[in-house]
Amino acid sequence: MPTRSTTAGSRASTKVVLAQIAPALGDLDRNLQMHLDEIRRAVREGAGLIVFPELSLTGYLLKDLVADCAQRIGESRHLDQLARASRRIGIVAGFVERADGVLYYNAAACFIDGRIAHVHRKVYLPTYGMFDDGRYFAAGELFRSFAAPWGRTGILICEDFWHLSSSYLLSQEGMETLIVVSNSPSQGLDRSDPPAKQTSWSQLGIVVAQFLTSFVLYVNRAGYEEGWNYGGGSYAVAPSGREIGRGRLFVPDRVSVTMEAPLLHKARTAYPVLRDEKLELVRRELDRIAAARYRME
């Protein structure tokens, strides 16, 4: 796998491509080819990781197409082709997972060295305003970090990122890089100005990167789908909270950044907040708060 250079602790400096694509709704073959084209280009450029948006293999507003687009791990030629492509580069892509019990999950997989190394199922399903995720998907129930060539990693899907406990839990399991995949629309907004929603996503990335002294990679889709306009604006933030790369708004784009190993070491030395975290105290206080809340109910 290309571009694994200077090490700092357990992580290596890695070139990353944020692939801000516009998937075609329900067209897995077309979207797979889009992925493979972007992957080949990233490999030629020496990248060690490429990240695609939420539900990048299917599009977002699937509704009654969910079952038709669902992929069972181990039985999907689309996932198998991405796994084969990962022999040369790490890949994060979004898909609909079909699980036992005829359950469908909004999922994101990380492919490394020819196999699926990790799958995250979206935990927080927005079912309010213009969103209807809870009607079509089952909710995930786990937050887990995993070992990767670029350092220990966690994956969140869109709404998961807005719950600070999600990132916090991953950090307590040694996370060094947080990957957030998203389908955040900007319907009805004036394209002449940075949308407020995109500004909020950027602020969240900076806060979490500083709070957890971790790299944050955020990839949002672009283009139109069923009348929804997706905002793009993908970005990467260093552990200091400094932005190191950003995609254009609204249109497909690709952003190349390097997660430099010394930046993680420098941030965690200057701000040892993870070292000083009192996990047992947090557990006790959460137990107390939960007990009081459920007694009241």
* Local confidence band at 97 (pLDDT 50, 70, 90 cut-offs): very high
pLDDT at 27: 98
Which pLDDT band, with edges at 50, 70 and 90, does 4 fall under? very low
Q: What is the mean pLDDT of residues 76-82?
A: 98
Domain ranges of the chain: 7-270
Contacts of 40 (CB under 8 A, 6+ apart): none
231-257 pLDDT tens trace:
999 999 999 999 999 999 999 999 999
pLDDT, residue 198, reads: 85
Query: What is the distance between the alpha carbons of residues 98 and 107, in angstroms, rounded to a whole number?
Result: 10
Is residue 17 pLDDT above 70, yes or no?
yes
**Of 83, 86, 92, which is closest to residue 180 (Cα–Cα)?**
92
SS3 183: coil
What is the pLDDT at residue 187?
Answer: 54
- Confidence band, pLDDT 50/70/90 cuts, at residue 42: very high
> How long is the chain?
297
pLDDT, the chain, mean: 93
Q: Which uninterrupted H or E stretch holds 179?
A: strand 177-182
Q: What is the pLDDT of residues 134-193, one digit of tens each?
A: 999 999 999 999 999 999 999 999 999 999 999 999 999 999 999 999 999 985 544 556
Q: For position 1, what pLDDT does the model report?
A: 54
Entry pTM: 0.94
Cα-based distances in Å from 46 to 39, 141, 207, 217, 288: 11, 35, 30, 18, 50
Number of DSSP helices (H) and strands (E) in the chain, helices first: 8, 15
Q: Using pLDDT thresholds of 50, 70 and 90, give the confidence band for residue 79.
A: very high
Return the CATH number of the domain spanning residue range 7-270.
3.60.110.10
Looking at residue 217, what is its pLDDT? 98
Mean pLDDT of the 10-21 span: 88
Token pair 């493979």 is found at: 36
pLDDT at 297 (0 to 100): 59
